[in-house]
Amino acid sequence: MGTTGFRSTVFGAGFSPSSGDPATLRVRFFAYDFGPGVTVYLHYLRPDLTLRATVTLGRTRGPCGTLVSARRRLFPFPARPGNWRLQFDTSRVYRRLARPRVRLVVPILRARR
């Protein structure tokens, strides 16, 4: 008889609420199954895919590694129009192919003046 391991939780990341004015929207970020006791970072990539900023979201808790942040601004800086990429991973320094990672696309239609 053999045994095998498997993941029993959903791997992923995101934020809530998912709609509103990105210039003022305050959200809770969440990450699931990144591993227990690791720090999760959020890397903001401009529409041209260059790094704009990296923020620390916090440390995961529990056996599967879940994180839910306090409410904070979706974009902690003025974001110009275009498709921004938000990459969640466990690397303090942005690496395009970091593992594990979740990358979301957030469209910004127009910027505030």
CATH of the domain at 40: 2.60.40.1930
Q: Is residue 5 part of a domain?
A: no
* Number of domains composing the chain: 1
CA dihedral sign, ordered 88, 92, 93, 97 = negative
Within-domain flag for 2? no
- Residue 40's domain spans which residues? 12-108
100 found inside a domain: yes
d(CA 98, CA 88): 9
How do the pLDDT tens digits run along the chain, 113 residues long?
665 555 555 789 999 998 888 889 999 999 999 999 999 999 999 999 999 999 999 999 998 899 999 999 999 999 999 999 999 999 999 999 999 999 999 999 876 55
CA distance 60 to 79: 28
pTM, 2 dp: 0.87
Give the C-alpha separation, 96 to 113, whole Å: 31
